[in-house]
Amino acid sequence: MRLQTVPATAGHAWVRQGWRVFARQPLAFSGLFAAFLFGIFALTLLPLVGPLLLLALLPLGSLGFMIGTREALQGRVPLPRVFVDPLRRGRRPLRAMLTLGVLYAVGSVLIINLAEWADGGALERLMDVLADGKATPEDVAGRIADPQLAFGVALRFGLAGLLSIPFWHAPALVHWGAQGAAQSLFSSTLAIWRNKGAFAVFALAWSALVLATGAAANLAGALLGAPQVVAVLAMPASLLLSTVFYVSLYFSFADCFADGAASPAAALPPPNGNPP
């Protein structure tokens, strides 16, 4: 696969293209995300090994959405089988995919333990307070005001962001580029570094969408004089944004790596009506 450099504006285009493809088959992609969430829920029920399996399978999950997006571009309906298709391509790709999963799980566990050590368990104590139905607002405010909590949360997000860089394209490079685990991690890191402007715009665009959605929900609750409206709107809005985010991942890969098997959809026409 040939690594390409794209302008910063490509990051915004990836978001638009994600919305366009989702609008083509909203029910199919919603079902795909529902299957993804069900798998996460099922794994969390397994004691001890469940959370580790969940972390190890996350790279495969992002690849599944990329495959689903590509199938939608080709006029097919994305089905939950996209999450297992990459495991059926032979022994070498399977070994590389499993290696990526193990490395991602190990990296995630190290980040979790390092952040818990750094914040002295402040986040865990906040979760315990929130889970306690008898906790007062003062108790919650006191936990949130803990300076170690802010440091721990910032550390988690920062390290998780760094971990995502080598794994962003790696599963797709194994699947479509026939690369090994080490080569795919290096290629992904190099691609994001060369296209850091586009990925910065991509991140800012999604952050703006999330903030705008939250502000709109709060405004609706204030105008209607019903704060509970915020909670009612938050869940479907969160599911929608999460689904479209995963749909848009394919375009970041297809623009950064030129290949006949995974070409970008630059000329993708909008569906009926204007895209968001």
Angle at CA of residue 27, ends 15 and 201, nearest 5°: 10
Report yes or no: 175 and 89 within 8 Å, Cβ to Cβ. Answer: yes
> By C-alpha distance, which of 170, 182, 181 is closest to 257?
170
In order of 12, 47, 99, 163, 182, the CA distances from 127 in angstroms are: 35, 20, 32, 24, 37
Structure tokens at 194: 């060369």
Position 21 scores a pLDDT of: 96
Helix axes 10-24, 49-73, angle to 10 degrees: 80
* Alpha-carbon gap, residue 77 to 84, rounded angstroms: 16
Q: What is the pTM of this model?
A: 0.85
Average pLDDT, the chain: 86
What share of the chain in percent tops pLDDT 90?
A: 61
* Alpha-carbon gap, residue 212 to 205, rounded angstroms: 10
Domain boundaries, the chain: 2-258
Q: Can you tell me the mean pLDDT for 2-16?
A: 94
pLDDT digits (tens, 9 = 90+) for 157-183: 899 999 999 999 999 999 999 999 999
Kindly calculate the radius of gyration of the chain based on its CA atoms and give it in whole angstroms: 20
